[in-house]
Structure 1
């Protein structure tokens, strides 16, 4: 790695903030959050904001400060923060996020497919005339499984991301996000305005923020709130650590994290304001709208938005705008994930050109199964999405290795204009351990698979999409490899630099 590459950094604090927002604001804001807000309303939103400050922001503060202090990628920075013996934990965080990176380009590809569908609706009246929920469900099944066009779009998304990042931080990641994030937020606001302008749209807004006190006693709502916060903000992903490794020497840790964390939640709220009123706008009755929302339909974004816009003047155009925003949201997260991959190879002293080429090939090849098979995609999302809770716990572990108060003082507060109370940070670093462990146990105990551990024949059920066996097997392999090469990891990522 050359001196020039090692000294790359953002040009200003807003470059860091926009990169952080780009990392956090993704397809989950426009896809998963509206579904959960539709199921649980204002009760979920209150708890979700609570966990922003209990789980996400404390972990993000810890990540960012580690990256800022050591100015290196996840494995190197984590090993220095936690200690030589725990380099394997940094390895797990990296592999976990790469596991998500490999299929996240597919989410971007789906968004582009729906941009294409919207274009067809504009230019081919017969397609618009035959548009129905059945048609959209068929379209979804077609693009999500065995579709070579989706594979091609996956490859295209990876190549675009790598080409944009190849030029470095200021000319690549920073410049892209300066355009991407304001444009994305503008498009979502436009869609929200259109949804609210429909006859029944405002009813969706009232429904979204209605509080049902009984739901505060429903454990599932609490679980959904903390997991949505963790996954949406990127807490524990290692992405914030990677972004911080390019920060300036006196970067304000707390200010950056508060802006990016709260900004991510605001973007989710705007997305909910766009989608929930849309459901009420097209439903035959309020009861039908509420029934659909409470069903927790995972295809809410893909089946409702096109139908909504087909019913209003120039709706096909606004439908295209929405799916462009969706694709941009997914892509903004993808480029941060790809940068983590590139940074890992530059830490191994590959120059940026070679690291970019290796990353591109790796992401294209490893993402192919998810692009071709929805079952494989769902399995990887199941395994590594849950794995992010392990990653978050490892970040908490690194903090405890330094002493919580010492870490806050020397890592976080040193250059921060805003200083959170010591008792607050200390409390979260302790309570997040049982929270994380409980979430992992709870998620695996829900019985998403009929045979979570063994098949009827007594075989280890590793190939089941949603089994616990597939989680433990894939995590176990990464743990084992990391432990076996722990000394090599420290030597290559720390001693060599």
Structure 2
């Protein structure tokens, strides 16, 4: 248990990989259609407000616990908690969150890989919206095809992680993140100059608060909160692990701000890619998950050079998905090594098999198990797994981190402040202890409860 812990080779590596964990399908698959559904710019403002008021402070608490303990969430609270307290039981809740996230995330990442291959090989050429919808429907109805691409994603992710932190995770993710950011800029510029795209920019960038009333303000708040937690991956130790791999030369508030800025920039830029394109070709931007898989291939078909632009778009989606898969797999591997002291290769092999088996219900939920509709008519296993993670584990886990860092019976405010403010950079303000300990958890819990109310009693 006392073996030397591997470290990142550079600060840039830490920021890009932590942002890579946060940057994923939440930014580029979920954010645009949720924004479209809840009225565009007004929703974006609420989402950014939640990131500043809730996301950044929670990110600092999670990074602090990781860096102070030099452990994954499997052992971090065991190391830091007061004797006789039971905070360490949180590890099971957090570990369940990481596995649950990968149970559906690997399937959707597999869709991105399949779509990249289809787009690059000309599989969508000449198809109208119904034709593209048939390809998506055929994929969902084919469990062997979906399982194959899901397994490919799992093999790629664990293959990279098996090479270690610096030689695998850091080296590959750095390249992917730089390419992802470059692709986004190119695609955003291309979309912004489309004829008829101005209306999409207006919808995305000009707040219309009447849209909040139409959807119900509490439902919009719940959606924005869920999106903020999902996009930052906070509350289940997926970010804390990267805190355990850095030294104390930089304060953690500045690092948290950098990670949030990168994450938010990608989410906002994905809107700049998608909304002008939707409006230019007369498509509903609130079309739900099908926006990416049915609507956009059709948009690319209508564009000059669409096959190239579509291929670049789905390559960027693959990078976004894989950056999160690699980061969460690294956390899962660290659970195993911290808890058992087994070799990295043994832990990788066991988890590779486990994740493939655990991901099968999501794959089969669209075909053989489609009769199982856990959240009501039309819902799938994926919807249920996403709901448990995004709307339960991430917000409730975040409350645990905040209380652990602010309460005397936890790790304690003074210990947290000393860790967060160790090193150069932006300081975490002492004056907001009351807000952190009382207001922030109550806000999260209130919106959490109201979200359940709107889901089951609206």
Tell whether the structures are fold-level matches, with TM greater than 0.5. yes
1:270 deviates by 0.5
Are residue 48 (structure 1) and residue 47 (structure 2) matched? yes
Structure 2 match to 1:380: 385
Structure 2 match to 1:235: 234
Separation of aligned partners in 1, 2:147 and 2:398 = 31
Structure 1 match to 2:31: 33
Are residue 412 (structure 1) and residue 413 (structure 2) matched? no
Structure 2 match to 1:482: none
1:271 deviates by 0.3
3-state SS of the aligned residue for 2:40? helix
Contact 2:55–2:228 under 8 Å retained in 1: yes
Higher deviation after alignment, 422-431 or 41-50: 422-431
1:30-429 equivalences under 5 Å are: 30-39=28-37, 40-83=39-82, 84-121=85-122, 127-129=124-126, 131-215=127-211, 218-283=217-282, 289=283, 292-293=284-285, 295-347=286-338, 348-374=340-366, 375-386=380-391, 387-402=393-408, 405-424=413-432, 426-429=434-437
Q: Structure 1 stretches of 5 or more lacking a match?
A: 284-288, 451-497
For residues 126-165 of structure 1, give each alpha carbon's deviation from its aligned partner in whole angstroms, at most 9, with x where no partner exists: x522x12222222222223442111011111111111111
Separation of aligned partners in 2, 1:136 and 1:412 = 49
Are residue 18 (structure 1) and residue 16 (structure 2) matched? yes
Runs of 4+ in 1 over 6 A off after TM superposition: none
Distance 1:44 1:16, change over 3 A: same
Separation of aligned partners in 2, 1:415 and 1:216 = 42
1:179 deviates by 0.2
1:2 deviates by 7.4
Separation of aligned partners in 2, 1:431 and 1:97 = 27
Separation of aligned partners in 1, 2:192 and 2:210 = 28
1:177 deviates by 1.4
Structure 2 match to 1:477: none
Separation of aligned partners in 1, 2:212 and 2:306 = 38
1:119 deviates by 2.6
3-state SS of the aligned residue for 1:110? helix
Distance 1:280 1:216, change over 3 A: closer
Separation of aligned partners in 1, 2:200 and 2:211 = 19
RMSD: 2.0
Separation of aligned partners in 2, 1:341 and 1:110 = 23
Structure 2 match to 1:481: none
Separation of aligned partners in 2, 1:82 and 1:349 = 21
1:377 deviates by 2.1
Distance 1:149 1:2, change over 3 A: farther
Separation of aligned partners in 1, 2:257 and 2:185 = 22
TM-score, structure 2 normalization = 0.90
TM-score, structure 1 normalization = 0.83
For residues 26-82 of structure 1, give each alpha carbon's deviation from its aligned partner in whole angstroms, at most 9, with x where no partner exists: 011111111132232221111111111111111110000110011111021023334
Contact 2:61–2:401 under 8 Å retained in 1: yes
For residues 244-274 of structure 1, give each alpha carbon's deviation from its aligned partner in whole angstroms, at most 9, with x where no partner exists: 1111243431221110011100111100000
Contact 1:144–1:373 under 8 Å retained in 2: no
Higher deviation after alignment, 250-259 or 137-146: 137-146
3-state SS of the aligned residue for 1:225? helix
Q: Which has the higher helix share?
A: 1
Higher deviation after alignment, 109-118 or 34-43: 34-43
Contact 1:237–1:388 under 8 Å retained in 2: yes
Separation of aligned partners in 1, 2:316 and 2:322 = 10
Separation of aligned partners in 1, 2:347 and 2:289 = 36
Separation of aligned partners in 1, 2:212 and 2:436 = 21
Structure 2 match to 1:494: none
Are residue 441 (structure 1) and residue 449 (structure 2) matched? yes
Structure 1 match to 2:377: none
Contact 2:70–2:244 under 8 Å retained in 1: yes
Separation of aligned partners in 2, 1:271 and 1:428 = 31
